[in-house]
A and B are shown apart, each in its own frame.
Chain A
């Protein structure tokens, strides 16, 4: 899996942004709403225009079309295909590539098993719960054997129990497959459990944050995560801008 590098990336949000995501790591990008988290993922995916360079394993991919960047992307609203059942959603990328039907179904079955939704194979997205939709989106993103996995606040609409369960499962799958992953969130609870490294993003600028800041000690979960997020970021980020 590749190392992702962003070199002097600028657009309507960022100005000379530099960032490196190491091979096989899960990088958490933390930031409040409107900080540019989704834009950062869209730059890596090639969905928005930018100046500067994005490199996968040292190779610039700026001219590589979106559909050839080999990226798995879980959108904030998941963007499942409403007209396809779960199996067809998961197998979409394989069908696009013209894979044999039997081979495709075998891979789909494996992914449904991995994400524990094999019993939902023939259901349509409208008949799935929030957690089930998340699993379908994960399975679909993994089906194309992506080199890079981008997760855009995928747990927003889930209850705490389901959220924790899925966090662990995604982390486990990511570790097993060793996919270089960028996970953006505004929720501090996700940070401690998910990330190998954490960076904070605010006003188009980025800071590396020490993981110990997010250890659970003393955190009984009773505070507002939004207040906490701003507090953490204000304390840490002022005057500490640097390349990460």
Chain B
């Protein structure tokens, strides 16, 4: 509240031109206009659909490959060196290559988000599976469980906290990546709206977009936090 009051007061002093440093009230007014005109919603839906598709595909692939690598040493040893080389590459570093390979279209941000989600979820899944207490696995085996049953009834549930750590961290990151991709290559979405506003010196629109982005990142991270708590609350 103090921050907002301070912001509004400084802006009203007109020390800095209003088009460079808009008042909080102007930003809120623009927020209202963007909602009523449908511009914000249309762009948000574009970004949201890219995030959801890319993130869900990346997370699903990361979990699936992580399960296989975490439970089969041979596969882990075969693929680990490849993923170790690919993982440190910044996601946006792939952008020029992907622009040529898949073109400048909706698939580009989806592919970038896929890469952004895949590796952290993969590594967290592998860590989660490998950190399950060996004695617990032995106990399940002695109690009559097959390898597949041990995986589904013991190993995966116990790896859930690690998997969710990966999902939670990357849920916010996916939004950062989609904005970056839309800024450099795609004409729709919140990132593109920000770039258009920048060329028109519409700082109020940019601030609205940043606020929306912040809310979306927080909502996504909080969603996975709540899901994790719901699943593991009883036993952790």
Q: Residue B142 contacts which of A71, A77, A80 (CB distance < 8 angstroms)?
A: A71
- What 7 A-B pairs come out closest when comparing CB atoms? A79-B135, A93-B143, A79-B139, A124-B235, A83-B157, A83-B235, A73-B142
The reply to whether the CB of B154 lies closer than 8 angstroms to some CB of chain A is: yes
Q: 15 A-B pairs, CB-CB below 8 angstroms?
A: A47-B138, A67-B141, A67-B142, A67-B143, A73-B142, A75-B139, A79-B139, A81-B154, A82-B136, A82-B235, A95-B153, A96-B153, A126-B236, A144-B143, A144-B144
A92 to B145, CA, bound (A): 9
Q: Residue B143 contacts which of A82, A96, A125 (CB distance < 8 angstroms)?
A: A96
Size of B's binding interface in residues, CB under 8 A? 21
Question: Hey, which chain B residues are within 8 Å of A66, CB to CB?
Answer: 138, 141-142
For B133, give the chain A residue with the smallest CB separation. A79
A77 to B138, CA, bound (A): 12
A140 to B142, CA, bound (A): 11
| Count, A-B residue pairs, CB within 8 A | 70
The reply to whether the CB of A45 lies closer than 8 angstroms to some CB of chain B is: yes
Q: Using a CB–CB distance below 8 Å, which chain B residues touch chain A?
A: 133, 135-136, 138-146, 149, 153-154, 157-158, 232, 234-236
Q: Using a CB–CB distance below 8 Å, which chain A residues touch chain B?
A: 45, 47, 66-69, 71-73, 75, 77, 79-85, 92-93, 95-97, 124-126, 140, 143-144
For A69, give the chain B residue with the smallest CB separation. B142
Q: Whole-angstrom distance from the CB of A51 to the nearest CB of chain B?
A: 21
Q: Whole-angstrom distance from the CB of B180 to the nearest CB of chain A?
A: 38
Question: Hey, which chain A residues are within 8 Å of B135, CB to CB?
Answer: 75, 77, 79
Q: Residue A81 contacts which of B136, B146, B234, B236 (CB distance < 8 angstroms)?
A: B136
A93 to B139, CA, bound (A): 10
Question: Hey, which chain A residues are within 8 Å of B143, CB to CB?
Answer: 67, 92-93, 96, 140, 143-144
A125 to B235, CA, bound (A): 7
Are A79 and B144 in contact, CB atoms less than 8 angstroms apart?
Answer: no
Are A79 and B136 in contact, CB atoms less than 8 angstroms apart?
Answer: yes
For A66, give the chain B residue with the smallest CB separation. B141
Are B138 and A79 in contact, CB atoms less than 8 angstroms apart?
Answer: yes
Q: Whole-angstrom distance from the CB of B190 to the nearest CB of chain A?
A: 39
Q: Whole-angstrom distance from the CB of A156 to the nearest CB of chain B?
A: 14
